[in-house]
Chain A
Amino acid sequence: MKIPFILEIQPGAMLIIGLLLMLLMFWIFWPKRGLLALLSKLKINNQRVHLEDALKFLFDCEYKNTICNVNSIAGNLNINMEQASRLVERLISMGLITMNDEAIRLTDTGRSNSLRVIRVHRVWEKYLADETSMAPADWHNEADRLEHFVTVEDTEKLAAQMGHPVYDPHGDPIPTIDGELPSPKGKPLNQMKAGESGVIIHIEDEPKYIYEQLVVQGLYPGMQVYVIHVIENKITFAANGEEYTFTPLFAAHLTVELLSDKAPEKQKHDLLSSLSMGEEAEIAGISPHCRGQQRRRLMDLGIVPGSLIAAEIKSASGDPVGYRVMGTTIGIRKQQAEQIFIHRKKENHYESNE
C-alpha cells in the first residue's frame, strides 16, 4: 500500500506544525483580542458612533448648564477640528442641533435622540454592573461600545428583566423611554462647606483616569461623607471612617446630596473578615461594591443590618469560613467577607457551648 503523504513528515516537523496550528487557533478564538473579536469590532459603524457620542456630549453640557462648541466636541470625541466641523454640519442638516454664535444647542428631536442613547448606555451599564462579573472600570467602556449597535428592543427587554432600573451604577438617573429625566440633584463636593454632611449620589466617569482613582480610593455612590475642613486648595472630608484630602478639581467629580436630618456616621466599620473564630458581631451593612445576585443572596441568607453574626468554623483549607447567622451556618469566602461591614460589640462574650 502506498504510504500516505501525511505519515512521511518527520515527527519534529510534525510537532512544530501542531504547535503552530494551536497558536493559530488561539489567535483566532481568543476573546476580546482574537481575530474573530477584532472582526466583530470592525463591523461597528464609525459614523454612527460619532453622531451618537456627539449627541450624548451635547446633552451632558445642557444638563450641567455649560456651553459647548465645535472645539469641545472635538476634544470630547477625540477627533480633529475638521472632522468635528463636518460632524456638526451633518448634525445641523439632520435637524438635530442648532448653532448660534459658536454655541451649539440640541433641538427637541436632537434631545430626544440623545436621551435614547443615554438610556441605552445607562441600562447596559447597570446590566454589566449587576448581572455580569465585569470589573467596575470596564462597565463604562463596554457600555460605550455596546450602545452603538444594540437595538432599542434588546435594551428594553433587558431593562424589563432587571426590574426597570432608574439609576445606573454611577448614581445617575436613567431616562425613561419617553425621555423623562429628573432635574439634577445635589452639588459638587468642592462646593461644600466645613461641617456639612451628605451622601455621594454621583461619581463622574469621565475622564477615565480620575474615575479610576476615585474607585481605587474606595469611594462609591451611597457613601456618607462629612466635610471636616476646607482650605483654599484642599478639601478634607471623612467617609466610612477614613479621611480623604482632595483638590477641588478632583472633588468636583463627586456629587453630593446634603443630609440635614440624619446625623453623619463617623464610626469606622470593621470588616466581617476580621472576625476571629467564636467572635460575634452585629452586621452594619454590605458594601455597594457587592452587587446584583451576590448581594441578593447575602441578604436572603440574613446578612442585613442589625442581625448578629458569629464566625464558627474554618474550612479545612482556611477559606471559606462558616459564619452563623439567623440560626444557619453559611460558608462565606474571604473576598466576600471583606465586603460585609460589622460593628464589633464592646465586650465580646460569645457563649459557645464548649
Chain B
Amino acid sequence: MSPMNNCETCPVHNKANLIKLGLNMEQVDFVVAMAGNPNTGKSTVFNNLTGLRQHTGNWPGKTVSRAEGGYVYNEKRYKVVDLPGTYSLLSTSTDEEVARNFILFGQPDVTVIVVDATRLERNLNLTLQILEITDRAVLCLNLMDEAQRNNIEIDERTLSKELGIPVIPSAARRKQGMNELLNAIEEVATGKFVCRPHRIKSRSSKINHAIAEIAAKLEAQFPGLPNTNWVALRLLEGDNSIIEAVRSGELGHINASESGKINTGVLTIDA
C-alpha cells in the first residue's frame, strides 16, 4: 500500500497549517531550494506549495527562468526557489552553475530534491551530488503514481537510510504527499531531523588522497567549512566559481551552523 494516501488521520494532514503566499515573501524564516532533474515535477510541487502557476509541461528543459514563491506552515514563513532542472552539477553549463551556486552560496535551509521514482538510478546521480554540497535536504520521491502503474516498488526506508535524509513519496499532480513533504521540510529546517548525508564510496584511493590533501589545506584556511571534501574536489576539477570563492575569501562565510539568508547579494542567479 502506498503511504501517501493513508494519512487522513495523521497530524500533518491539516490543510489549515498551510497558507500559500504566492509572490509575497517578506521576512522569511527559512529558504527552501527545489532541485532535481528536468521533467520530474519540480514546478508542479512548487506550484502546490506556493499556489503559483509556473509553466509545467512534459518536455525536458522548459523551465528556463528561475521562479520564487512563498508559503507559511505552522506559523513559519518559507521562501521557495524553483531552480532550473539539471542532470548534474559537475559540468560547466550555465544552468548547472546557477543551481550549484545557489545550493552552495545561497545556503538554503533545506534543499528539496525532486526525483522521478520510475528512474531512480539516474536521478540518484544528481541527488548524491547535491548531498555532497549540503547537509540539509529532503528527497521528494515524486511520480509515485507512475511507479505504481509500472509495478515498481521502492523501499523508502532503505533509501532514506542509505541517503541519510528524509524520503517522502508523492504524486504532485494529484497533490498527494504534499503535507508529509511540508512536515519533513519543517523538521529539517528546524533541526528536528538531523541529516547524515551519504558520501561517495567508490572513488579510487588516488582520488581520495588528492582530495584529502587539498581538504586538509582548506580546513586550515577556512575552519568550519561544512563541505570541505566537496570544495576540494571542485578545486581539482578547476571550477572557476569555487576558485574565485577561495580567492575572495567568500568561502569562509559559509558556515555549518548558520543559515545564509543574508548572503544573497553575492548571487547571480538569473539564468
Contact = CB atoms under 8 A, between A and B. Distances in A.
Interface residues of A, number: 16
A165 B238 contact: yes
For chain B, the bracket of interface size reads: 10 to 19
Interface in A115-155: none
Contact of B239 (A163, A326, A328): A163
Contact of B122 (A163, A165, A166, A328): A328
A161 B92 contact: yes
Contacts of A328: 119, 122
Given A162-B92, A164-B243, A300-B88, A326 B121 contact: yes
Interface in A195-234: none
Contact of A164 (B88, B125, B240): B240
A163 B240 contact: yes
A300 B243 CA distance: 24
Interface in A304-354: 326-328
Contacts of A293: 93
B88 A296 contact: yes
A302 interface: yes
Contacts of B122: 301-302, 326-328
B81 to A, nearest CB: 22
B159 to A, nearest CB: 16
B156 interface: no
Given A296-B88, A296-B91, A300-B88, A160 B119 contact: no
Nearest to B241: A160
A24 B89 CA distance: 49
Most-contacted residue by chain B among A164, A166, A327 (CB, 10 A):
A327
B118 A301 contact: no
Contacts of B119: 326-328
A161 B240 CA distance: 7
A205 to B, nearest CB: 23
A302 B121 contact: yes
Interface in B56-89: 87-88
Contacts of B239: 163
Interface in A136-195: 160-166
A327 B238 contact: no
A54 B238 CA distance: 31
A164 B87 contact: no
A85 B213 CA distance: 50
B87 A301 contact: yes
Nearest to A299: B88
A293 B95 CA distance: 13
Interface in B85-117: 87-88, 91-93
A160 B121 contact: no
A15 to B, nearest CB: 47
Contacts of A164: 238, 240, 243
A127 to B, nearest CB: 12
Contact of B121 (A166, A296, A300, A327): A327
B259 to A, nearest CB: 29
A95 B91 CA distance: 43
Contacts of A326: 119, 121-122
A161 B119 CA distance: 32
A299 B118 CA distance: 19
Contacts of A301: 87, 122
A162 B119 CA distance: 30
Contacts of A160: 240, 243
B237 interface: yes
Most-contacted residue by chain B among A161, A165, A302 (CB, 10 A):
A302
Contacts of B237: 163
30 contacts: A160-B240, A160-B243, A161-B92, A161-B240, A162-B92, A162-B238, A163-B92, A163-B238, A163-B239, A163-B240, A164-B238, A164-B243, A293-B93, A296-B88, A296-B91, A296-B93, A299-B88, A300-B88, A300-B91, A301-B122, A302-B121, A302-B122, A326-B119, A326-B121, A327-B119, A327-B120, A327-B121, A327-B122, A328-B119, A328-B122
Interface of A: 160-166, 293, 296, 299-302, 326-328
Given A293-B93, A296-B88, 16 more contacts: A161-B92, A162-B92, A162-B238, A163-B239, A164-B238, A164-B243, A166-B238, A296-B91, A301-B87, A302-B121, A302-B122, A326-B119, A326-B122, A327-B118, A327-B120, A327-B122
